[in-house]
Amino acid sequence: MAESQPFRLSIIDYLNASPLNYGFKHGLGWEHFHLKFQVPSACADQLRDGLVDAGLISSIEYLRIPGLRIVPGLCISSPKRVRSVVILSKVPPEEIKTLALDTSSRTSAVLAQLLLRERYGVSPKVTDMAPDMEAMLAEHDAALMIGDQSMRARKEGLMVMDLAEEWFEWTGLPFVFALWTVRDDAPELEVPGGVAPFFHKSLATGMAHIPDIVEEARRHIPWTKLELTEYLCENIRYHLGEAEIRSLSLFFEKAVKHGFAPEQLPLKFL
């Protein structure tokens, strides 16, 4: 009897993804999953190339990678203020002429440019760079930084644009940064319910271990225990509901209009 094919799962090691990943990282489905640890942009590339079967990808990549299905009910979103996806600027938003973009993510890069174009009337020249704030701001008016690097960045003397907050003020909707997606040709797990329940169990395990996640995060992010707990429980949300789906549709519509994705696609779920 042939040995079953392992299910290759990309794991994003950012704090905001920790509750979603927690179960997998602590042995959930160990007999089924092969884990790869990557930044969001690398996850998307490997998912496109078929080097992983599922990944937590920047939401814009759903329009760019054919043959994906979304795990229903799960995402990384922010209901209003996210604090970890920001434009740090030496000048007011309407005066930004050059913008360095963190290469780690792609949805945030699109959102930053949409906000500057449609809310502030500017289309700055953009440069993709590694997430090093000093290097980014040495030759640019502003820098987009995301995730843990953004949380560690010193922001004194800079204007801070929280992108989720800007989106909420503009649209009244939460912003969806990432989605669990599975390739159409991913192997079938020979278990009741297939692969989808594992993603939900992993999150449930993570939410039950928020204090442990916070303690680990304090080793490398200079925030207090209260700030980190509020971040994971209030600034970030993990439920993909009706408001989040409406927001995704609007974001996709604007992204296609500005040429950041080829066409708008209906959301296809597992």
Cα separation, 105 vs 131, whole angstroms: 10
Amino acid letter, residue 231:
Y
pLDDT of residue 39: 81
Cβ of 215: how many Cβ atoms within 10 Å? 12
Would you say residue 3 has pLDDT above 60? no
Q: Which domains does the chain have, with CATH numbers?
A: 7-77+175-257 (3.40.190.10), 85-170 (3.40.190.10)
Split at pLDDT 50, 70, 90, the class of 263 is: very high
Cα separation, 177 vs 198, whole angstroms: 21
Residues 141-161 have pLDDT tens digits of 999 999 888 888 888 999 999
Cα separation, 89 vs 156, whole angstroms: 11
Q: Whose structure tokens read 């590694």? A: 130
pLDDT of residue 4: 66
Q: Report how far Cα 110 is from the mean position of its chain's Cα atoms.
A: 12
Give the torsion sign (CA, 165, 168, 174, 179): negative
> 3-class DSSP state for residue 49?
coil
Residues 67-87 have pLDDT tens digits of 999 999 999 999 999 999 999
- Where would I find the beta strands (DSSP E) of 40-184? 54-58, 68-70, 74-78, 85-89, 98-102, 125-129, 142-146, 159-162, 175-183
Which residue would you say has higher pLDDT here, 150 or 60? 60
What's the token pair of residue 90?
């030496």
In contact, 227 and 233? CB cutoff 8 Å: no
In contact, 173 and 243? CB cutoff 8 Å: yes
